[in-house]
């Protein structure tokens, strides 16, 4: 089961994935206000959920802006690919340019994950795909049983992630999509980093950026 919130002025999708055991994972906690934080907390409390993992798809500031708050609130480390750490270390500068407050992020507790790791919560699990191209350290999270994948800014409905930012590369992004995401069943739901969800089969047929 999943719940998606659109948070902050970039309308980043924050995903809560959970199952009937009530254990859950939080992906891309990106609240920008106390009201958004309370909305997330209310959902967790009303559904009696226990947070097991805090994850990010990539460490651009719009996706990681409230990660420190989440780690402090739930007493858990932030799990990310090691190549994304460079963006955490410059988060203050990113925040000033893009209108975020990331006070405390320099003290955040980090734990690195790779494609060899499995993220377990309750009776469910997430497989990790390493999907650079939008930026270094970008990863996607795939739940085979529930047929969904959280793609971050790798793949969007009818679009792809931009590649003109530092560590972005178009050919690398294309390889990430074709060699990882497009090998999934066509009915797999894609929970994108921004905007509406889509499906693998639809994007293979209709995405104008994919040859």
Domains along the sequence of the chain with CATH: 2-206 (3.60.15.10)
**Is there a contact between 152 and 57 (Cβ–Cβ < 8 Å)?**
yes
Rounded to whole angstroms, the Cα distance separating 171 from 50 reads: 39
Give the model's pLDDT for residue 126.
Answer: 99
φ, ψ dihedrals at 201, nearest 5°: -60, -40
Give the model's pLDDT for residue 163.
Answer: 98
Rounded to whole angstroms, the Cα distance separating 181 from 147 reads: 12
Give the model's pLDDT for residue 177.
Answer: 99
φ, ψ dihedrals at 118, nearest 5°: -120, 130
Pairing type for strands 124-130 and 118-121 reads: antiparallel
Rounded to whole angstroms, the Cα distance separating 94 from 133 reads: 19
Q: Consecutive sets of 10 residues in the chain, 211 residues long: mean pLDDT of each?
A: 98 99 99 98 99 98 96 98 95 84 89 98 99 98 99 99 97 98 99 99 97 73
| Residues 6 or more apart in contact with residue 46 via CB below 8 angstroms | none
Give the model's pLDDT for residue 211.
Answer: 73
């Amino acid at each position: 089961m999943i719940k998606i919130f659109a948070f902050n002025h970039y309308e980043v999708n924050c995903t809560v994935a959970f199952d009937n055991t009530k254990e859950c994972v939080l992906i891309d906690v990106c609240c920008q206000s106390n009201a958004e934080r309370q909305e997330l907390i209310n959902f967790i409390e009303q559904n009696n959920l226990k947070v097991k993992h805090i994850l990010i798809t990539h460490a651009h500031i719009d996706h990681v802006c409230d990660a420190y708050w989440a780690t402090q609130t739930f007493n858990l480390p932030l799990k990310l690919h090691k190549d994304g750490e460079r963006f955490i270390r410059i988060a203050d500068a990113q925040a000033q340019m893009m209108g975020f407050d990331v006070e405390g992020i320099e003290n955040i507790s980090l734990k690195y994950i790779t494609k060899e790791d499995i993220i377990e919560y309750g009776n469910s699990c997430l497989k990790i795909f390493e999907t650079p191209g939008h930026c270094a350290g970008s990863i996607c999270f795939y739940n085979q049983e529930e047929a969904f994948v959280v793609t971050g800014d790798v793949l969007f409905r009818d679009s792809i992630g931009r590649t003109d930012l530092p560590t972005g590369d178009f050919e690398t992004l294309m390889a990430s999509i074709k060699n990882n995401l497009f090998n999934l069943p066509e009915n797999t739901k894609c929970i994108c980093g921004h905007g509406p969800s889509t499906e693998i089969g639809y994007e293979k047929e209709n995405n104008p950026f994919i040859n």
